[in-house]
Amino acid sequence: MLLIHCPYCKDDRPELEFSNAGEAHIVRPTNMSDISDTEFEAMFFMRDNPKGIALERWRHAHGCGRFFNVARNTVSDKFLKVYKAGEPRPSDAEIEELLK
Amino acid sequence: MTPSSKQPYRAKSHGALNHARTVRFTFDGKPYEGLEGDTLASALLANGVHLMGRSFKYHRPRGVMSAGVEEPSALIGISRDKSNSGARVQPNVRASVQEIYDGMNAVSQNRFPSLNFDLGAVNSLLAPFFAAGFYYKTFMWPRKAWDKVYEPFIRRAAGLGESPTETDPDRYANRFEHCDVLIIGGGAAGLMAAKTAAAKKQRIILCDENPSLGGWLLADSDVTIDGKSGTQWVKDTVAELQANENVRLLTRTTGFGYFQQNMVGLVERVTDHLAQPDMDLPRERMWQVRADKVVIAQGAIERHLVFADNDRPGIVLAGAAQKWLNQFGVTVGNNVGVFTACDTAYAAAFDLYEAGTHIAVIVDQRATVDQALLEQANELGIRVMPNAGVVGVTGKLRINGIKVKTASGSEETIEVDALITSAGWTPSLHLYSQSRGKPIWDEASQRFLPGQSPQACVSIGACNGTNDLATTFAEAAKATGGRAPKLEIENDVSLAGGTIGMASESAETGKAFVDFQNDVTAKDIKLAVREGMHSIEHVKRYTTNGMATDQGKLSNMHGLSIAAKMLDKPVPEVGLTTFRAPYTPTTFGSFVAHARGTLFDPSRKTPIHEWAQENGAEFEPVSLWQRAWYFPRPGEDMHEAVDRECRTVRTSAGVFDASTLGKIEVVGPDAAAFMNIMYTNGWDKLKPGRAKYGIMCREDGFIYDDGVVGKLSDTRFHVTTTTGGAPRVLNHMEDYLQTEFPDMQVWLTSTTEQWATIAVQGPKAREIIQPLVTGADISAEKFPHMSVVECQVCGVPARLFRISFTGELGFEINVPADYGRAVWEAIWERAEPAGACAYGTETMHVLRAEKGYIIVGQDTDGTVTPHDAGLSWAVAKSKPDFVGKRGLQRPDLTASGRRQLVGLKTSDPKKVVQEGAQIVADPEQAIPMKMIGFVTSSYWSGTLERSIAMAVLEDGFARMGETLYIPMEDEVIEVEVEGTVFYDPSGEKING
């Protein structure tokens, strides 16, 4: 069982308290009604599923209830970085660094 | 040796057991005597019994091989029930591990009718069929034989013991624990690591699978540490640790699994060794330990030698023989032969000699043997044959001789009653490997060793490939941050050396077993390689080598070496199979612990649950809720009760517990704007005091949930959801609020369990509740359908809705949950004399279906849009955006041919179709027919005196009046398509 650090509670809590909420940094367009079918497909259906660092959303469902983002290595299953919703996506250089 | 009449192989001079404390037990019904502290194996050996089981495939007679958890052969059934009910029968218990207790009842397995004479042994004659890959070859043809012959045969033959069919009557506990250092293994390495860590005031857990700590030191009679014997050093160290409040010592506790982030699963066997366990104790206790650092001190496992008939009873591992002697005071025979490829077996032989056992011969596979060992043997008059091998044995149920072949090719048969063997020691990499560490091949010592684990753990001692005690102590101290202790160590025997693979080449004549538990021979592995299995993962699956419950603790290295030799490849290129949890078989009970029966899942009950129980309700589970299903009167079956409840609601009134409905309070200045995003409907124009049926979609345009929403004020909505959908709807709302619209001033609160909801439905509904309501005018004029008001009911603050899920005049009264039952009873006191009834979910379903109200998840399945469901009126056209708006415009969702929700009436009104039944246009067409839809809801309607159904149907809206067909197994049912509203289509009643 993983221990996950909640950036809002500032504590390591057991995996049981959290739920995964899919890939992070997919922004719902503000002109949602006007986007093309291709854009809709990219936004709603297409996901990266990388081997290595995955940026994904988690929710501290049985805790503070907040959504936040993590960088998880899908090979080692290690949470390498945890950051609040709304904070910027880690740069490629930072991801490279996390993979080391 | 002075043989006692009862335990002839008990050496009085050896062992730590108290000879005055005898224990009586039975094996296959025959009474035996052992000593307190004996394992079943040591006690049977003390009685001269080697034969303890029959093998899996060939039913070969098998003795015990080892004195530890690696035991592949001596698997026993233990019955812990006094009453012989069978519920406490545990199969496949290793005789080398199970401690005996007074009255223990052990039985051998996989034999009929008896161990000595087993009919299944005929399988040995069928051996050609059972060679590697036999599952794949033998049972291929003819196809017809599979169901009737092959599968039943395999199922009957598969598995060793039989598990009980009764419910496990024992209790299992579980605990979470945290510590600075978890030490797995309480041998010399583990104890020294604990001693060092304890000195640094760290919180320590040390576990060991054995009943007492000390590991190999308890079996080594020669070694001294600072002048003390090994056992004395263990005693002193354990006493020191026991006195330290920061140290928790767990014996009979196996570290079986290494999980993420240094979580290690330990299972503690609490009562299996006790004759009369305290009823308050759990049988086993699961520890989930999270440690800052894990010290793995698992030790090493001695390998057997691979030669012909190396599985005959009487052949045991040398280390096991030494342990039985020095720890339990048991000798494995009176005239023992030795076959070895390393030095440790000499120590075992010399100890046995000292205990009075005649050592017939030491056959050493190696050409050069340590001079000191040769001299010692010579001194004791023991014959040593270097550069020789045992190539076969005589005796079936027990060996009586060994065939020895020298390098020059001469053969000789030597009489023995037991043979001890050693091929060297395999470091136990199980937990290291489970921590996702990669085993590294060490060419010089021909073994895999641990490298750097990705987790915070370190391997020390024999499992790290360390062969001597001094280095082990130094490693252990370093592992916990200390300095190498200065200890004077004497008479230590190195674990170095040994061999892997075939021990002697002429072994082709008989069965040379690599894996005892799955009956895999060296020949099988060679065959697998010849048939194209070139990776160890394939060889393993083809031959089943290492796939038994012992996970190849003895066999893996031999199998690997034989395959590598055949392939002429270095061992690491052939690969090592991955070690997986559990390290040793672990009971389901210890994983399940308390989570069984009523504690398996939480059960949610409404404040009115007990009233329903008292009034004879039958219940159905809806998600975690227990809901009143129907209220049968004496003599009524479900059908009759539901029929009566439906009629009563339609003609008089009914009272229904709707408390399980999900409820979410949406509050804040932007509440209406937020509702506009989350629901397809428009919320701006809705006036406070009014309610609306809302549909929630996902971004893809499919219906996600629905429910009535009351607007209490411009900044406060009382949202209801489906019973099962409440958590995901709240999650869905929170997701959008937190991550897409974080600037909105809205707060969401789950209020499902804060409100008890009582629905009163039917023509007499108003008459029933009116006198109970204060602070609101609920007349038809002032309080029309789809209204909400905050008032008092029975003097209790209430949110009163005028809504209906039945099509009748209806109210839903929300009161604080604590008042739920009191208000319900007050209503019931008025309802019952008025001729009303209490009704359950089944009646609710029928009544709503008569009105064509959908149930999300029953009439929709995640591919139904609001338009498909005929709910286009609930989708706002002018709103710039809502979740699902863009999705609904996708070409596939606007194309023709979509399945749309319609009503169905059977031509024969008495015929009720099955939910899920498929619909076709032409029942005469060839199979496979084109299915154009399916039934989603179907009921008998007592009110309409006919069956009704709803279905999703291709282009359903355009098919009104069409006749379609539902082909069933034994008939074809004719149906006519119509609208979904079967009852009161004009809505007269609901607005009454």
Rounded Cα distance between B184 and B655, Å, is 62
Query: Residue written as tokens 């690997």?
Result: B560
B158-167, B371-380, B637-646, B871-880: least confidently modelled range: B158-167
CA distance A86 to chain B (A): 7
For the segment B363-380, the average pLDDT, to the nearest whole number, is 96
Please count the structural domains in chain A: 1
B-chain CB neighbours of A27 within 8 Å are 740
Residue-wise burial string across B48-69, b where 16 or more C-beta atoms lie within 10 A, e elsewhere: bbbbbbbbbbbbbbbbbbbbbb
Q: Using DSSP bridges, classify how beta strands B172-184 and B51-54 pair: parallel, antiparallel or unpaired.
A: unpaired
For the segment B761-776, the average pLDDT, to the nearest whole number, is 97
Q: Which residues of B touch A (CB under 8 A)?
A: 259-261, 263, 288, 290, 436, 454, 699-700, 731, 734-735, 738-740, 742, 880-881, 885-887, 889-891
Q: How confident is the model at residue B207 (pLDDT cuts 50, 70, 90)?
A: very high
Q: Are A59 and B436 within 8 A, CB to CB?
A: no
Which of A3, A76, A85 lies at the smallest CB-CB distance from B739?
A85
Rounded Cα distance between B812 and B685, Å, is 23
Contact between residue A40 and residue B890 where contact means Cβ atoms under 8 Å apart:
yes
B-chain CB neighbours of A19 within 8 Å are 731
Q: ipTM > 0.95?
A: yes
CA distances from A86 to A79, A90, A91, B740, B741 (A): 18, 12, 15, 9, 11
Rounded Cα distance between B977 and B982, Å, is 12
Which of B629 and B86 is assigned the larger pLDDT? Answer: B629
B-chain CB neighbours of A28 within 8 Å are 699, 740
Q: Is the pLDDT assigned to residue B228 strictly greater than 80?
A: yes
Q: Are A33 and B891 within 8 A, CB to CB?
A: no
Contact between residue B317 and residue B304 where contact means Cβ atoms under 8 Å apart:
yes
B-chain CB neighbours of A67 within 8 Å are 734-735, 738-739
The residue type found at B168 is D
| Mutation to test the B interface, candidates A28, A46, A56, most B Cβ within 10 Å | A28
Q: Is the pLDDT assigned to residue B934 strictly greater than 60?
A: yes
CATH number at residue A46: 3.30.2270.10
> What does the DSSP 8-state code read for residue B331?
-
Q: Is the pLDDT assigned to residue B129 strictly greater than 90?
A: no
Rounded Cα distance between B93 and B108, Å, is 10
Q: What is the pLDDT of residues B509-558, one digit of tens each?
A: 679 999 999 999 999 999 999 999 988 999 999 999 998 888 899 999 99
CA distance A60 to chain B (A): 11
Using the Cβ of A89 and the Cβ atoms of chain B, whether some distance falls under 8 Å is answered with no
* pLDDT value of position B135: 62
Which of B259, B263, B881 lies at the smallest CB-CB distance from A33?
B881
User: Please, what sign has the CA dihedral across residues B159, B160, B166, B171?
Assistant: negative
CA distance A50 to chain B (A): 20
Contact between residue B859 and residue B937 where contact means Cβ atoms under 8 Å apart:
yes
Q: How far is CA B201 from the centre of its chain?
A: 37
The three-point CA angle B207-B209-B214 to 5° equals 75
Q: What is the pLDDT of residues B459-474, one digit of tens each?
A: 999 999 999 999 999 9
Could you tell me the fold of the domain covering B896-978? Answer: Elongation Factor Tu (Ef-tu); domain 3 (2.40.30)
* pLDDT value of position B576: 81
Grouping H, G, I as helix, E, B as strand and the rest as coil, residue B772 is helix
Q: What is the pLDDT of residues B608-656, one digit of tens each?
A: 999 999 999 999 999 999 999 999 999 999 999 999 999 999 999 999 9
Here the tokens at position B676 are 């506009």
Using the Cβ of A85 and the Cβ atoms of chain B, whether some distance falls under 8 Å is answered with yes
Q: CA nearest A21 in B: which residue?
A: B735
User: What is the total residue count of chain B?
Assistant: 992
Using the Cβ of A42 and the Cβ atoms of chain B, whether some distance falls under 8 Å is answered with no
For the segment B101-116, the average pLDDT, to the nearest whole number, is 87
Among B351, B350, B342, residue whose Cα is nearest residue B375? B350
For the segment B738-760, the average pLDDT, to the nearest whole number, is 97
For the segment B898-902, the average pLDDT, to the nearest whole number, is 98
* pLDDT value of position B578: 83
Which of B257 and B89 is assigned the larger pLDDT? Answer: B257
CA distance A32 to chain B (A): 6
Element (H, E) at B320: helix B318-328
Architecture of domain B505-574: Orthogonal Bundle (1.10)
Q: Using DSSP bridges, classify how beta strands B457-459 and B284-296 pair: parallel, antiparallel or unpaired.
A: parallel
Here the tokens at position B327 are 């720890």
CA distance A51 to chain B (A): 17
* pLDDT value of position A76: 84
First to last CA, chain A: 23
User: Please, what sign has the CA dihedral across residues B173, B25, B256, B216?
Assistant: positive
Here the tokens at position B276 are 């009369």
For the segment B861-884, the average pLDDT, to the nearest whole number, is 96
φ, ψ of residue B276 to 5 degrees: the values are -130, 85
B154-168, B392-406, B779-793: least confidently modelled range: B154-168
The three-state (H, E, C) secondary structure of B13-43, written as one string: CCCCCCCCCEEEEEECCEEEEEECCCEHHHH
Q: Are A76 and B880 within 8 A, CB to CB?
A: no
B-chain CB neighbours of A84 within 8 Å are none
Neighbours of A82 (CB within 10 A): 17
As to burial, measured by CB atoms within 10 angstroms (0-12 exposed, 13-18 middle, 19+ buried), residue B820 is buried
Contact between residue B499 and residue B389 where contact means Cβ atoms under 8 Å apart:
no
Neighbours of B237 (CB within 10 A): 21
Contact between residue B463 and residue B185 where contact means Cβ atoms under 8 Å apart:
yes
| Helical axes B841-850 vs B638-651, angle rounded to 10° | 60
Listed in sequence order, the residues at least 6 apart from B125 whose beta carbon sits closer than 8 Å to its beta carbon are none
Rounded Cα distance between B373 and B803, Å, is 95
Query: Residue written as tokens 């990499």?
Result: B429
* pLDDT value of position B2: 40
Q: Are B738 and A85 within 8 A, CB to CB?
A: yes
CA distance A1 to chain B (A): 6
A-chain CB neighbours of B735 within 8 Å are 21, 59, 67
First to last CA, chain B: 103
Q: What is the pLDDT of residues B237-273, one digit of tens each?
A: 999 999 999 999 999 999 999 999 999 999 999 999 9
For the segment B165-190, the average pLDDT, to the nearest whole number, is 95
Rounded Cα distance between B803 and B694, Å, is 13
Q: CA nearest B435 in A: which residue?
A: A76
Among B886, B874, B885, B889, residue whose Cα is nearest residue B682? B874
B-chain CB neighbours of A2 within 8 Å are 260-261
Partner residues linked to B703 by β-bridges: B697
* pLDDT value of position B3: 40
A-chain CB neighbours of B261 within 8 Å are 1-3
Using the Cβ of A77 and the Cβ atoms of chain B, whether some distance falls under 8 Å is answered with yes
B-chain CB neighbours of A85 within 8 Å are 738-739, 742
Helices (runs of H) and strands (runs of E) counted in chain A: 2, 6
Rounded Cα distance between B801 and B972, Å, is 45
Q: Is the pLDDT assigned to residue B136 strictly greater than 70?
A: no
Using the Cβ of A67 and the Cβ atoms of chain B, whether some distance falls under 8 Å is answered with yes
Rounded Cα distance between B543 and B519, Å, is 9
Could you tell me the fold of the domain covering B661-751? Answer: Alpha-Beta Plaits (3.30.70)
B-chain CB neighbours of A77 within 8 Å are 260
The residue type found at B857 is G
CA distance B821 to chain A (A): 29
Neighbours of B915 (CB within 10 A): 15
Q: Is the pLDDT assigned to residue B909 strictly greater than 70?
A: yes
Structural domain for A20, as ranges? 3-27+35-99
Rounded Cα distance between B992 and B976, Å, is 31
Across B270-313, the runs of DSSP E, i.e. the strands, are 284-296, 300-302
Q: Are B290 and A21 within 8 A, CB to CB?
A: no
Here the tokens at position B18 are 């108290």
Which of B191 and B508 is assigned the larger pLDDT? Answer: B191
Q: Are B740 and A28 within 8 A, CB to CB?
A: yes
* pLDDT value of position B697: 98
Here the tokens at position B329 are 């005071």
The three-point CA angle B762-B820-B801 to 5° equals 45
What percent of chain B lies above the pLDDT cut of 70?
95
Grouping H, G, I as helix, E, B as strand and the rest as coil, residue B790 is strand
> What does the DSSP 8-state code read for residue B525?
H
Q: Per-residue pLDDT tens, chain A, 100 aa: give them.
A: 899 999 999 999 999 999 999 999 999 999 999 999 999 999 999 999 999 999 999 999 999 999 999 999 998 888 999 999 999 999 989 988 988 8
Could you tell me the fold of the domain covering B302-424? Answer: FAD/NAD(P)-binding domain (3.50.50)
CA distance A21 to chain B (A): 9
CA distance B897 to chain A (A): 20
Rounded Cα distance between B726 and B744, Å, is 22
Which of A1, A21, A35 lies at the smallest CB-CB distance from B259?
A1
Rounded Cα distance between B358 and B349, Å, is 9
| Mutation to test the A interface, candidates B259, B739, B883, B894, most A Cβ within 10 Å | B739
Q: What is the pLDDT of residues B561-618, one digit of tens each?
A: 999 999 999 999 998 878 999 999 999 999 999 999 889 999 999 999 999 999 999 9
Q: How many CA atoms lie within 13 A of B787 on its CB side?
A: 19
Counted across chains A and B, CB pairs separated by less than 8 A come out at 50
B-chain CB neighbours of A33 within 8 Å are 880-881, 885-886, 889
Q: Is the pLDDT assigned to residue B229 strictly greater than 70?
A: yes
* pLDDT value of position B116: 82
Rounded Cα distance between B606 and B389, Å, is 77
Which of B263, B735, B889 lies at the smallest CB-CB distance from A67?
B735
Domain borders along chain B are 22-119, 127-153, 170-301+425-480+584-600, 302-424, 505-574, 661-751, 896-978
Mean pLDDT of chain B: 94
φ, ψ of residue B771 to 5 degrees: the values are -65, -15
| Mutation to test the B interface, candidates A8, A20, A67, A80, most B Cβ within 10 Å | A67
Using the Cβ of A44 and the Cβ atoms of chain B, whether some distance falls under 8 Å is answered with yes
Query: Residue written as tokens 């109970």?
Result: B772
B-chain CB neighbours of A37 within 8 Å are 890-891
As to burial, measured by CB atoms within 10 angstroms (0-12 exposed, 13-18 middle, 19+ buried), residue B276 is exposed
Query: What CATH number labels B22-119?
Result: 3.10.20.440
Using the Cβ of A40 and the Cβ atoms of chain B, whether some distance falls under 8 Å is answered with yes
**Do the domains B302-424 and B170-301+425-480+584-600 match in fold?**
yes
Which of B261, B734, B885 lies at the smallest CB-CB distance from A32?
B885
B192-206, B528-542, B938-952: least confidently modelled range: B528-542
Q: Is the pLDDT assigned to residue B506 strictly greater than 60?
A: no
| Mutation to test the B interface, candidates A20, A31, A33, A84, most B Cβ within 10 Å | A33
The three-point CA angle B93-B94-B96 to 5° equals 145
> What does the DSSP 8-state code read for residue B113?
B
Which of B731, B880, B886 lies at the smallest CB-CB distance from A40?
B886
For the segment B831-858, the average pLDDT, to the nearest whole number, is 97
Q: What is the pLDDT of residues B28-85, one digit of tens each?
A: 999 999 999 999 999 999 999 999 998 888 889 999 999 999 999 999 999 888 766 6
A-chain CB neighbours of B747 within 8 Å are none
The residue type found at B632 is P
Element (H, E) at B602: none
CATH 3.50.50.60 describes domain B170-301+425-480+584-600: yes
B137-146, B306-315, B580-589, B813-822: least confidently modelled range: B137-146
CA distances from B522 to B62, B131, B517, B537, B565 (A): 18, 11, 14, 16, 12
Element (H, E) at B166: none
